Amino acid sequence: MYIPTLDDMLAAHERIKPYIHRTPVLTSSFLDDLTGAKLFFKCENFQKAGAFKVRGASNAVFGLADDKLARGVATHSSGNHALSLSYAAGRRGIPCTVVMPRTAPQAKKDAVIGYGGRIVECEPSTSSREATFAEVVGESGAEFVHPYNDPRVIAGQGTCSRELIEQVEGLDAVVAPIGGGGMISGTCLTLSNLAPEVKIYAAEPTRADDAYRSFKAGYIIADDAPDTVADGLKVPLKELTWHFVSRHVSDIFTASDPEIVDAMKLIWKRMKIVIEPSSALPLAVILKNPQTFAGKRVGIIITGGNVDLDSLP
Amino acid sequence: MYIPTLDDMLAAHERIKPYIHRTPVLTSSFLDDLTGAKLFFKCENFQKAGAFKVRGASNAVFGLADDKLARGVATHSSGNHALSLSYAAGRRGIPCTVVMPRTAPQAKKDAVIGYGGRIVECEPSTSSREATFAEVVGESGAEFVHPYNDPRVIAGQGTCSRELIEQVEGLDAVVAPIGGGGMISGTCLTLSNLAPEVKIYAAEPTRADDAYRSFKAGYIIADDAPDTVADGLKVPLKELTWHFVSRHVSDIFTASDPEIVDAMKLIWKRMKIVIEPSSALPLAVILKNPQTFAGKRVGIIITGGNVDLDSLP
C-alpha cells in the first residue's frame, strides 16, 4: 500500500490546475450568528463537473503514463466520481468506461455521456458490479481509478484544503463530510503537513455511520446497505483512507437525515447556493455540537452541487 | 420631477458601501457555449437581504436628514423592497413600516419582522393598499420610499452596474429584468454616463409585458393585474423610470413563463446558485435572440435569490 505524501499533493496541484477551478470561499453573517462560530465555506459545488471529485480524477488521468493512454481509464460509480473521471478523460482525449447500476439516475448517466464517457450497466448489487467491472477491465485493459482508495485520488483531493488555507488565515478547524474518506484523507494529508494546528473533523449521516463506528472501535466496520439522503456518503472506509482517518481526525460527528435536510435548506436559503445533501453534513454537525465550534474559525468543505432539481429532499 | 444624476449615483455608492456587498461576477463555460456569447453574471442574489433592492433602500435610509429619523420610513411592497427597506432601517436604527397584503407569503412577512420592520396588513387590492398606506403615513409622518419611482432609489440601484463595469472590461451589452424599471433606470443612469458604448437591454415576462408595449408605443401603458411566475416584475413603469427607459434602452425582449422557468433551472443546475424567477429573464431572452448577443460580451444582472424553496416553480 503506497501512502501518498505532501510532494504527491503538491505535484497533483501543479498537474491539475489547468483543468479545475480555484473555487471561492463564501461566508454568511447569518450562519455565523446562528452557530457562534466564524464559518468559511469552500465551495466545490462551483467546481468543474460540480464536485471536488474532479481534483482526484484529474490527477489520476493527467498523471497517466503515455503507454497507458490508449487503453484509457475505468471505474465503478453512480455518482460524482463517474462524472469527474469522464470529464478528466474527455479533457485528455482518452477513453473512459464507467460501470453503473442500471437503476442510477438518468441525469447522472446523461452527464457521463455528455462528458464523453461510456457506460456499461450492471445490476444494482455488489456481485454484479464486480463481475461486470472485471469483464470491462479484462477486455479493455483500462487503468482502474478507484473513487477514493487510490493514492492519486487522495493526493488530488488534498489540493482543496491547500487552497482553503491559502484563502483563509488562522483556521482553528476544518469540517468535511465522510463517506469512503477520500476528501477527509486528502485534507489530513495536506493539513497534517502544512497546518498541523488545524483540527480535522468528519461529519457523517447517522444512517450510514460506519466511519463513526470504525473510528470509535479502532478498526474498519463496513455496513451492508446503508440508506441516507446523503447518497454520496454510503460507501465504507478502505485501508488507505483508514490510514489517514485513524491517525489525523480529531473526531467524527453524525447527523440524522432530517437534520441534514434542514441544514441543506438553510444553506440554499441563506447563502443562495445549490448544494447536494452530503454537503450539508458539516453545518448540521456544527449546529449540534456548539461547544466544540463556538468562537472558532471553521473551514467547511462544500463537496458538491449535483442534486436532482426535480426530486429535491 | 427630480432626475437623479451621475453625482447622485456616486454619492449613493459612498453612502451605502458599509451596508452592502460588492457582489461577485460569475461565469459559466457551459452557458457561454450554449448562447455563443460571453456572459458575466452580476450576482445580486448574494446581496444583503438577498436582492439588489437593498442598494436603493439603503441610499434612501442613510441619506435621510436628521430631523426625519425619528419618524422613520414607510413603503408598500410584498417583495424584496419590503425586506430591503426593513434591513436598511434596522441598520440605521430607525422605524420602518411596510404595508403588505394579508395574502403575502409568510416567509416574506417573517423576513421583514426579522429585520426589525413593522407590518400593517391590507386587503389584496390597490384601493385597500392606498387607503391603508395613507393612514400609516398620516399617523406616523414616516418618509415614503417608493420601491422604484424615487430618485434616491434609482441612484442606489445604479451602483450595481458601476461595480459591474469595474469588474468586467469591454462589455458590449448589459441585460436586466424590467418590472417597474428601478434597476434598468439605475443601469441607464450609470452606463449612459460612464460607459455609453454599452448597449442596455431589458427583459420582461410575456405575461406582464407592459414595459415592452410602452416602449413600442412611446408612452406608459399599465396593466391591471398581470400574472407571471416572475412575481417581482408585475408592477408598471412610472414617470421617473419611463424617463430613463425611453431614452437609454436599446430594446426590450420578452419571454414566456415556461421559458423563464427553463432558464432558471439551467442556472440553478449549471451555475449552482439559487436565483428567483425574475433573475432568469435575461438568460431566457438571450437564448431566444441569439442574433443580438452571439459573439458579444454581455453583463447579466441576477437581481435576487429570494424564492420559496417549498413551492418552487
Q: What are the boundaries of each domain within chain B?
A: 6-52+150-311, 54-144
Average pLDDT in the B88-101 region?
Answer: 96
Q: How far is A268 from chain B (nearest CA, A)?
A: 7
Confidence of residue B309 (pLDDT cuts 50, 70, 90): confident
Tell which residue, A243, A146, A127, A233, has the closest CA to residue A185. A243
State yes or no: pLDDT of B231 exceeds 90. Answer: no
The mean pLDDT of B114-120, rounded to a whole number, is 95
The tens digit of pLDDT for each residue in A26-84 reads: 999 999 999 999 999 999 999 999 999 999 999 999 999 999 999 999 999 878 999 99
Name the minimum distance, in Å, from the CA of B209 to any CA of chain A: 28
Fold of B6-52+150-311: Rossmann fold (3.40.50)
- The distance of B14 to chain A (nearest Cα, Å) reads 22
Confidence bin at B204 (pLDDT 50/70/90): very high
| Chain A residues bordering chain B (beta-carbon distance below 8 Å) | 24, 26, 45-46, 50, 265, 268-269, 271-275, 305, 309, 312
CATH number given to B54-144: 3.40.50.1100
Which residues in B lie closer than 8 A to residue A268 (C-beta atoms)? 274, 309
Would the CATH topology of B6-52+150-311 be identical to that of B54-144?
yes
pLDDT digits (tens, 9 = 90+) for B23-35: 999 999 999 999 9
Q: Compare CB distances from B273 to A265, A273, A312 and report the shortest one's residue.
A: A273
| Alpha-carbon distance B272 to nearest alpha carbon in chain A (angstroms) | 5
Evaluate whether the domain defined by A6-51+150-311 bears CATH number 3.10.20.30: no
How, if at all, do strands A251-255 and A297-302 pair?
unpaired
What is the rounded distance in angstroms from the CA atom of residue A264 to the CA atom of residue A269? 9
Q: How many CB pairs under 8 A join A and B?
A: 36
How confident is the model over A268-275, as a mean pLDDT? 96
Among A87, A106, A269, A272, the strongest candidate for a mutation testing the B interface, having the largest count of B CBs within 10 A, is A272
- Given a contact cutoff of 8 angstroms between Cβ atoms, the answer to whether B298 and B175 are in contact is yes
pLDDT of residue B263: 98
C-alpha span between A24 and B74 (Å, rounded): 38
Cell triple for residue A2?
503506497
CB-CB contact of B212 with B122 (8 Å): no
* Block residue for cell numbers 432601517: B89
A268 with B24: Cβ contact below 8 A: no
Interface pTM, i.e. ipTM: 0.90
Nearest to A268 among B46, B271, B309 (CB): B309
Q: Give the sign of the dihedral formed by CA B215, CA B216, CA B222, CA B227.
A: negative
pLDDT confidence of residue A124: 85
Task: Report in angstroms the alpha-carbon separations of A250 from A237, B278, B279.
Answer: 17, 45, 43
Element spanning A260, H or E: helix A257-271
User: Are B273 and A274 in contact (CB < 8 Å)?
Assistant: yes
Strand pairing report for A251-255 and A199-205: parallel
With bands split at pLDDT 50, 70 and 90, how would you rate the model's confidence at A104?
confident
Is residue A295 helix, strand or coil? coil
| Confidence class for position A106, pLDDT limits 50, 70, 90 | confident
- How far is Cα B157 from Cα B272, in angstroms, rounded to an integer? 25
